[in-house]
Amino acid sequence: MNVLWNNEMDLCIGLMTEMDRDEFARDVLESHKMLTGESIRPEDGEVSVVDHIIWKFQLK
């Protein structure tokens, strides 16, 4: 997996080449937790984790 590290925000964003949305979402969740110790969770359970990650990282 190719990953771009944004140290100022303690976030990582995987490049979506050769990944489907679910694989990308799992990699982002795992990398974010490794960097910050925090899990990313959808708010109010109304959106899927994948949709939340795409929204959080402004991905389309």
Q: Which two tokens stand for residue 14?
A: 């995987």
How many domains does the chain contain in total? 1
Q: Which range marks the domain in which residue 23 is found?
A: 3-56
pTM: 0.41
Q: What is the mean pLDDT of the chain?
A: 60
Whether 29 contacts 56, CB under 8 Å: no
Whether 10 contacts 35, CB under 8 Å: yes
Whether 41 contacts 29, CB under 8 Å: no
pLDDT greater at residue 17 or residue 33? 33
Whether 13 contacts 4, CB under 8 Å: yes
